[in-house]
Structure 1
Amino acid sequence: MSPPSNDKSNSGIARILGSATAGISELAVFHPVDTTAKRLMSNNTKVNSLAELNRVVFKSYAQETVGRKMLSLFPGLGYAAGYKILQRVYKYGGQPFVNDILNKNFKKDFEGAFGQKTGKAIMSATAGSMIGIGEIVLLPLDVLKIKRQTNPDAFKGRGFLSIIKDEGFGLYRGWGWTAARNAPGSFALFGGNAFAKEYIFALSDYSSATWSQNFVASICGASASLIVSAPLDVIKTRIQNRHFDNPESGFTILKNMAKNEGFSSFFKGLVPKLLTTGPKLVFSFALAQTLIPAFDRALGGK
């Protein structure tokens, strides 16, 4: 019989407060970076010059002053705030709940199949994958955020409630591709993080990690996640950035990309994502993992 897990289970309130704070902090620092990455992924032409890069990133503001260019990278901030905070609360706060359920009911199965240490890490990764699939519930907010960032003309002067009324379940377009992207992506995120804590830092209680340990572990998880999910992320983004009245299926996009842009098109924006979105994910993931036990202690957790 394996020894009992030393992992401490933090309170639900601590998980919500820690992950929400991480989401707000991430949004404040990285929203312009996210806009840039989304516009690069949505671009279906080759960028061969700084002038072309300027046009792709800043769109109609390409010839404006630096200040106005920077402000143009904050479209859809309201949608982004709603989506990002809810997403981080759901993902960072929800994965520990699923992991607790797996640990209670299937711990012996994971350890029997993979061994004690590896089984524990894979159980954490599996919990992440399950929570990632469920993330499609938040898809409408993600769709509206991406359209604001990459295709603002799609709104045609309509507000949030008007779009919800007009589009309905059309806002869930691409949900299958999103789930297919989230499952391996979240598995790699939480799995890479857990493996780093298990094998690099030899932590028996993941929640006891210091900020620096969480930061390094988050780099491992975020890098693995971005690389694994890159091709499906490009397809997902292109599905979501089109006009509401001119949708295109994921398979059509996949076929056209392979035919017209080549294999490398499935990894468009990967380098900017690793250099920009990567730090954003590392920052919020490490912050959430550090803040959750801190809030738990502040709230009187043992």
Structure 2
Amino acid sequence: MSVSSQDAKVPTFANFVIGGISGVTAQIVTHPLDVLKIRMQISRNTLRDIALQTFDTNGVRSFYVGLSAAILRQLTYTTSRLGIYTTLLDIGEQHFGYLNYVTMISLGMIAGMMGSFIGTPTDLILIRMVADRNLPTEKRKNYKNVISGIFDIWKTEGFIALWRGAVPTMSRAAIVNGAQLGTYTKAKMMLQDTGYIENGITLQFVAALMSSIITCFASVPVDLVKTRIQNWNQSTKSPNIISMIVNITKTEGLISLWRGFFLYYSRAAPNTVITMVCADQLHQMYFTYFPVS
């Protein structure tokens, strides 16, 4: 997401295509960390134990379980959130000029919530495919791929069940995208204003790292709760986001809400960097091949 006036001339459809390509690229690179993060959130084992257990299952291939769901998630969620955010940012700058940090965060939150609602079904299936390894054999879903998972849930649990955990997913997305997209845009502007870093990959890289730190601290608790709700396999009705937070705090301690923070950041930082740098570079490539007259 470039903040230049030139980017305002990128067609809306191009913003969405660029968002999808950037998200898929980042997901393929960071998917193994996503697998470890999810498995760590639903168990009390150490990162080392989880990594060894994952590798023992089926070697390196085990770190790419659920990849089909993850890619489809990016094609729905990230395509939507980046496309919507860039479009809203362009419209805002065209009509109001300079946008303040609060406005950028607000636009990111709106884009994140809309994108996450669209992508919730694929996110649900991703969680279940990755978490299967931690369940007894008789309770495993054994989805072959994301498509079989969608039809299985639709058939056995109902169409609405595809949006199970939508509220915490949208809550997480609002926090993540507000912090990530808003901070990234603001950080780029601040760094450019210093005059020490020109607009390019170095600027994009540093801004993405800055935004990922704030994003992770703010979103880890909600991401933990979302994962546990979507992986709920007990006979009782799954709890809501507030009761789950209260229960985790009481039974595991307040600090446990940030369980897996290092792993989360290890995945989020490169994911943010790759996504944002790809998006900006693709915007620049657009003008190279489709120059504005």
Q: How many positions carry a matched residue from both structures?
A: 275
Please list, as runs of the form range in 1=range in 2, the aligned pairs for 1:49-60 lying within 5 A after superposition.
Answer: 53-54=48-49, 56-57=50-51, 59=53
Mapped to 1, the partners of 2:289 and 2:194 lie a distance apart of: 23
How far did residue 229 of structure 1 move? 1.0
**Superposition RMSD in Å:** 2.7
Please list, as runs of the form range in 1=range in 2, the aligned pairs for 1:105-254 lying within 5 A after superposition.
Answer: 107=96, 116=98, 119-135=99-115, 136-151=117-132, 153-156=139-142, 159-160=148-149, 161-167=151-157, 168-202=159-193, 209-243=199-233, 247-249=237-239, 250-254=241-245
RCO (CA 8 Å, sep 6+): is it higher in 1 or 2? 1
**Worse overlay, 258-267 or 279-288:** 279-288
TM-score by length of 2: 0.83
How far did residue 286 of structure 1 move? 1.8
TM-score by length of 1: 0.81
Structure 1, unmatched stretches of 5+, are: 109-115
Structure 2, unmatched stretches of 5+, are: 134-138
Which amino acid in 1 is paired with 2:141?
F
Paired residues of 2:37 and 2:264 also in contact (CA < 8 A): yes
Paired residues of 1:214 and 1:286 also in contact (CA < 8 A): yes
Partner of 2:253: 262
Mapped to 2, the partners of 1:16 and 1:244 lie a distance apart of: 38
Partner of 2:64: 74
Paired residues of 2:104 and 2:181 also in contact (CA < 8 A): yes
Change (3 A) 1:194 1:157: closer
Mapped to 1, the partners of 2:63 and 2:180 lie a distance apart of: 27
Task: Give the one of 77, 81, 92 matched to 1:87.
Answer: 77
Paired residues of 1:80 and 1:141 also in contact (CA < 8 A): yes
Q: Percent identity?
A: 20
Task: Give the one of 255, 262, 269 matched to 1:278.
Answer: 269
- Describe the SS at the equivalent of 1:155: coil
How far did residue 129 of structure 1 move? 1.0
Paired residues of 1:18 and 1:295 also in contact (CA < 8 A): no
